[in-house]
Structure 1
Amino acid sequence: MAEIVLLLVIEKMVIAVANGAANQASAHFSKYGTQLIELQGSMGRVVRELRIIHDVLCQMDIRNRHNQVYEGWLDEVRKVAHAMEDMVDEYMYQVGREHDTGCCFYLKKGLRKPRSLLSLNQISSKVKEIEKDLAHLSEMKYRWVPMINNEDTGSLNYMVKKSQDLANISRSLDDEDLVGVDENRGKLEQWLGSDDVERSLITLIGMGGLGKTALASNVYRKEREKFQCHAWVSISQTYSREDVLRNIIKELFKNEVSGPSNIAAMDITSLEETLKRYLGQMKYLIILDDVWTPDAFEDLSRSLVCNGK
């Protein structure tokens, strides 16, 4: 993911800027004078720009994913980030060489030895070019990327369906398919087996692809029978509170012989009242999958009663 690439480059650059600033007064670097100060300034500006781009990527709407315009822009961001990473490695090698730290410097900082050595003049020139590239990418995004938000909902519906399909695959994984989850699985089983009578909220937090759904589903299948009722619903980034409540009720009643027959026709008030009434005397377990923001739980929490069960 581009977000991770940017984070790694930003981390390297923060180390580089701090190291360079600490050495500006050193006799080793006195011969570089203004040149080093200008380079530090350029690198600092690139760090700030990359941080903003990283924040933008984290906030991009799911409908932009897998759109050709967005992906093309994102690919250019990756190229600039990798070019900046190369310059950071070149720069840090120069700093390390001046202090005779040799290859140990790279082992400690996790930096690569540059493929070819550049002078500080060359590094400074290339960093300024990267600054210009970033400015151009920012302008490009505001000119072209917002246009894709005006498309119909077809691509959004497709992405939501793909997300749900992937979640369904994750939910079907068996024990032997899960590796390295024993500790977290044990924690979840312990928390769900607690005798605490207060309503508890357990959150699994992390970037996409870490296996949160697979882990939660594995535990859910084993522990759900310890509860009087249970439900698993997907939220997604563009959820409807009414639809989520309706899906929770359908899940809770799917094995019931007699349940509400008019769920599809219920308005939001009826849905809330039905859910509260049903959960009122139940020890229940409800999984909210694919949650993008804590606001989603806040929207639903008043319908998930605190009943001392």
Structure 2
Amino acid sequence: MAAFATPRRLAVQVSELADKQPDRDVERRGPALAAAFKDGVATKAAEGFARSCGVSVDELIHLETDKGTWLGFREQQPGESIQALLPDIIRKTISTLPVPKNMRWGASRVEFSRPVHWLVALYGSDVVAAEALGLQASCTTYGHRFHAPDAIQLTHADEYVATLENAYVLVDRVQRRERIREQVLAEAEVQEATAVIDEDLLIEVSGLVEWPVALTGSFDERFLEVPAECLISSMKANQKYFHLLDDAGKLKPLFITIANIDSADPDQVIAGNEKVIRPRLADAAFSTTPTVSAHWLRVFPS
């Protein structure tokens, strides 16, 4: 089984499912033989047991146990098809997800952690007739919000990952995380610097994007007068940036941000991040040097 998650979708893919449950032998025990017949005539207890089994008293069997003889019934129950079982499994699975806080949206009384706009359920190439969260399952999904906003028809469950990747969505969390790692290291190499990749930050950032694109920005070198720990903390906690070090292990006035879009104008995206980080670093400077706050505000206007 494989589980996938992005900011816009949750998915599970189960392989090698059987088409149906195996048939099973069912044995039921009824009243004791002494209570089932009186003077050779079936009692109401025997007739009621037979009726509950859907057969006549003559079709019941005798079950020998160490506690005596009982009326019994044996039958082979055919296993249900996977298509018949999946709707209830899907509904119960979704309803038991450990969501700490639910919300409602629109006029619906349905609750979930975020508004749900579509539901896909496929068994091979067949749509599962499932309903959950007020939605009827189909084979229709959607790609990246900006790069591939149109509806996509899935033809087979096995094509889910590849189809979404073609629509600018990496549904696999590990693949997305490693893509970010590779991009951050590549950006650092271009800058002749060493990227510091905090694993917790990497995991967090990989959960914020569907199509990661690493971009390098810069900040005023005069901020380096502030203790590096304060700058790094601000970049990581507030902006989710990766910081860079020089050959001597000192902080460089650079950062790497992970965009969720392959922009046609990356310089504009970088400029926006540089504008946002400036007041953040000014706050860090103020918190460490309150007596010269006016100096920082003058040199680094927000």
TM class by smaller structure: under 0.3
Rg comparison, structure with higher value: 2
- For normalisation by structure 2, the TM-score amounts to 0.22
Specify which structure has the bigger relative contact order, considering alpha-carbon pairs within 8 angstroms and separated by 6 or more residues. 1
Q: Which has the higher strand share?
A: 2
- For normalisation by structure 1, the TM-score amounts to 0.22
Q: Which has the higher helix share?
A: 1
